Amino acid sequence: MSGLGKGITAASTGRLLANAGFSVTAVKIDPYLNVDAGTMNPYQHGEVYVLKDGAEVDLDLGNYERFLGTDMTADHNVTTGKAYKHVIEKERSGDYLGDTVQIIPHITDDIKRRIREAAEGTDVCLVEVGGTVGDIEGMPFLEAIRQFVHETPDEDLLLAHVTLVPYSKNGEQKTKPTQHSVKELRSIGLQPDILVGRSAEELDPDTKEKIALFCDVPTEAVFSNPDVPDIYHVPLTIEAEGLDRYVIDRLDLAGEAPPRTERTERWRELVTRETDEQVEIALVGKYALEDAYISIHEALKHAGLDRGVDVNVNWVDADRMDDAHERRLREADGVVVPGGFGSRGAGGKIEAIRYAREHEVPFLGLCLGFQLGVVEFARDVLGLAGAHSAEIDSATPHPVIGLLPEQADEEDLGGTMRLGAHETEIDPDSLASAIYGGTSCTERHRHRYEVAPEYIADLEAAGLRFSGRSGRRMEILELPTHPYFLGTQFHPEFRSRPDRASPPFVGLLDAALEHEHRNRDRDIGSDSERDTDANGDRSTSTPTGPTEPTGTAEPTESL
Ligand code: GLN
């Protein structure tokens, strides 16, 4: 069943295998007809994740990269669309020499080839089949896996099935859904070796035994995967349950199970560290769906792990900035304006950027957030009324963001997209060089529009600094008069890892922490002033100060 956590279960197991010294990679299978995730709406599938080779892929690949600490490529996301496209292209060019081209064996062969190629050169390859057992879409993939089992020696392949273990009203764990999905799997010739039960609490020993008996696996091959406070705790559960050791044993990877590794200890320390520090970050976007900005959430979390700070991310709706949302912006210690396409919410994002700039609230603009940072500055500081991005307002008198002349002639929209890892040169003595600790960085891109070259000199003369460039393209902006105002044309969130936080996010967090301390000190200062001097004329409601608790305050909506 989708959304159950099989990706996190697989990735966490992979992390432990990597910790034990094995090289691990992953393949995510998405049984939809789209060739890749590039054209998919974030409301349906969440964020489009970008790999270093420029592939636009399912967000689960982001989880694999974050857990495994490896970089993957387009070949690690297999979709129905990709397999069919390739087979049909081969058919059109006559490669099948007159054969009837069919799902079995041609599509299934193509699927197996893709898995083998992605696994090449590694000790272990995790293959996650998305979707639900029994769905028509998933059938060719499950058939390919059945053939794989048939063709592969027992000690080289394990099938794991992640199932939901719900509770009855009287609190009893129910194994029926597991029994039925295993029955469904067996009807297509697949017998799982391992069962992982997703449930609110650990599986009772009785539940494990029942599952083992009805699903024909040893009891020690049934594992609990209960809810945990954070996804990065799942490897710790997997280790406690012994799933990694079971895999190592069954795949005959080592003579004996390796002891708990130092790397797993470091992971444990990192993800379970307690802290009293907390900052509030406003994320001003247009999708009220956490998955649409998952890499940003994770990058903020990684920065928090790095600095020992809890980061609360508060969703601010750029499209409908009502009082509650405005209050979240005012109460924020830092503001993030994420990437995006199209005009919806652009006005709210520009307002949020102006607020952060004028009130010295730490700001990080990503891609569209960077571009709108330029727009806001052009309008308000440079005085270019109506300045905008040509993507959003094609009739603007000042298209400060537009297509470069060489892009404008391109008719195929896909052809103008700049994707994947590119290097940025960073000016020494800039905020960017301080946070990156050097004069270059390589980050991933996914955009079409650029800062228009004819406005750069005026923008810089008015105080905006483009401290990172890639040839004629502006990549990083900063505002030297502001405590932390940084925009990046690229998406640093895609390279952030739990144990390697992304510099722009760590920089934002440091600045947000200072902002929080400043506010706290000022509140304490103004409180004592009020106590001693009731007639003092000092304003007690400053723009960036937290608003009075009203008791009716809307609970912070965590995205
Ligand atoms: N829509 C903008 C562009 O295409 C920004 C893209 C993004 O934020 N990913 O340039």
Global pTM value: 0.91
With a 6 Å cutoff on the Cβ, whether 339 touches ligand 1 is yes
Residues 181, 186, 188, 194, CA torsion sign: positive
Pick the residue whose CA is nearest to atom 9 on ligand 1. Answer: 339
Q: What is the pLDDT of residue 254?
A: 75
Distance CA 524, CA 543 (A): 16
In this structure, how many other beta carbons lie within 10 angstroms of the beta carbon of residue 539?
Answer: 9
- Assigned token pair, 127: 């293959």
CA distance 318 to 332: 15
Helix or strand or coil: residue 517? helix
Q: DSSP letters along 258-304, please?
A: PPPPHHHHHHHHHHH-----EEEEEEEES---GGGGHHHHHHHHHHH
Tell me if 349 CB under 6 Å of ligand 1: no
d(CA 133, CA 222): 19
Distance CA 26, CA 61 (A): 8
C-beta of 449 in contact with ligand 1 (< 6 A) = yes
- In this prediction, residue 413 carries a pLDDT of 58
Our mutation pick for probing the ligand 1 site, out of 371, 417, 445, 451, counting the most ligand atoms within 8 A of Cβ, is 371
Whether residue 546 is preceded by a cis peptide bond, meaning omega within 30 degrees of 0, is no
- Token pair of 92 as six digits: 């059109």
Residue 306 CB partners (closer than 8 Å, separation 6+): 501, 506, 509
Beta carbon of 82 within 6 Å of any ligand 1 atom: no
Confidence of residue 412 (pLDDT cuts 50, 70, 90): low
Whether the pLDDT of residue 252 is over 60: the answer is yes
Per-residue pLDDT band at 95 (split at 50, 70, 90): very high
| In 227-333, beta strands by DSSP E | 278-285, 310-317
448 touches ligand 1 (CB under 6 Å): yes
Task: Please compute the mean of the pLDDT values over residues 236-241 and round it to a whole number.
Answer: 96
With both helix axes pointing from N to C terminus, report the angle between 59-68 and 6-19 in degrees, rounded to the nearest 10.
20
- What is the pLDDT averaged over residues 443-466? 97
Task: List pLDDT tens digits, range 68-80.
Answer: 999 999 999 999 9
Tokens coding 157: 């392949």
Residue 432, pLDDT > 50, answer yes
To test the pocket of ligand 1, the residue of 40, 49, 370, 391 to mutate (highest count of ligand atoms within 8 Å of its CB) is 391
User: Which pLDDT value is given to residue 405?
Assistant: 83
Helix axes 6-19, 234-241, angle to 10 degrees: 70
Q: CA-CA-CA-CA torsion for 478, 484, 487, 491, nearest 10 degrees?
A: 140
Q: What is the dihedral of CA 89, 95, 100, 105, to 10 degrees?
A: -80
pLDDT in tens, 18-48: 999 899 999 999 999 999 888 888 888 899 9
Rounded Cα distance, 364 and 359, in Å: 14
Q: Between the CA of residue 525 and those of 57, 65, 531, 532, 542, what are the distances in Å?
A: 50, 46, 10, 11, 13
Residue with tokens 């490669």: 95
Q: Where would I find the H helices in 93-204? A: 108-119, 139-151, 176-187
Lookup: tokens for 86: 């390739």
Average pLDDT over all residues of the chain: 91
Mean pLDDT of 526-544: 44
Q: Which helix (H) or strand (E) holds 544?
A: none
Does residue 367's CB lie within 6 angstroms of at least one atom of ligand 1?
yes
Q: According to the model, what pLDDT value does residue 416 have?
A: 79
> 543 pLDDT band (50/70/90 cuts)?
very low
Q: What mean pLDDT comes out for the span 386-400?
A: 97
Chain-centroid distance of CA 184 in Å reads 32
Q: Quick one: pLDDT band at residue 521, thresholds 50, 70, 90?
A: confident
| Rg, C-alpha atoms of the chain | 26
From the alpha carbon of 342, which atom of ligand 1 is closest? 1
Element (DSSP H or E) covering residue 216:
none
Three-state secondary structure of 379-407: HHCCCCCCCEECCCCCCCCCEEEECCHHH
For residue 367, which atom of ligand 1 is closest to its CA? Answer: 8
Q: Is the pLDDT of residue 118 over 90?
A: yes
Q: What's the rounded Cα separation, in Å, for the pair 371 and 90?
A: 42
Is the pLDDT confidence value at 389 over 80? yes
Evaluate if residue 16 carries a pLDDT over 90.
yes
Q: Confidence class of residue 324 from pLDDT cuts 50, 70 and 90?
A: confident
Mean pLDDT of 153-181: 95
Specify the DSSP class assigned to residue 416: G
Query: Packing angle between helix 243-250 and helix 234-241, nearest 10 degrees?
Result: 60
345 ligand 1 Cβ < 6 A: no
446 lines ligand 1 (CB under 6 A): yes
Q: How far is CA 224 from CA 12, 80, 164, 549, in A?
A: 13, 31, 11, 42
pLDDT band at 256 (very low <50, low <70, confident <90, very high): low
Atom of ligand 1 nearest to the CA of 340: 8
Instruction: Output the CA 554–ligand 1 centroid distance in Å.
Output: 32
> 334-337 and 388-389: which strand pairing?
unpaired
User: Residues of the chain with pLDDT > 70: what percent?
Assistant: 91
Strand partners, 28: 77, 128
pLDDT tens digit sequence for 187-232: 999 999 999 999 999 999 999 999 999 999 999 999 999 999 999 9
Q: Ligand 1 centre from 321 Cα, in Å?
A: 22
Catalytic positions, please? 367, 491, 493
One-letter identity of residue 48 = V
Q: How far apart are CA 414 and CA 517, in angstroms?
A: 46
Percent of the chain with pLDDT over 90: 81
Quote the pLDDT of residue 171: 93
Q: Kindly write down the DSSP assignment for every residue of 37-85, as one continuous string.
A: GGG--HHHH-PPEE-TT--EE-HHHHHHHHHH-----GGGEEEHHHHHH
Q: What is the distance between the alpha carbons of residues 354 and 485, in angstroms, rounded to a whole number?
A: 11
Q: pLDDT tens, 461-490?
A: 999 999 999 999 999 999 999 999 999 999
β-bridge pairing 194-199 and 222-226: parallel
- What H or E segment, with its residue span, contains residue 201? none
Residue 132's H or E segment, with its range, is none
Q: Which residues pair with 196 in a beta bridge?
A: 162, 223
Query: Which atom belonging to ligand 1 lies closest to the Cα atom of 417?
Result: 4
H or E segment to which residue 94 belongs: none
5: DSSP letter = S
Nearest ligand 1 atom to the CA of 449 is: 10
Specify whether the CB–CB gap between 464 and 477 falls below 8 A: yes
Please choose, from the candidates 24, 25, 30, 48, the residue with its C-alpha nearest in 3D space to the C-alpha of residue 444. Answer: 48
Higher pLDDT, 255 or 482: 482
Q: Which domains does the chain carry?
A: 6-156+232-270 (3.40.50.300), 277-403+448-513 (3.40.50.880)
Ligand 1 contact, 341 CB (< 6 A):
yes
Give yes or no for residue 514 having a pLDDT over 80.
Answer: yes
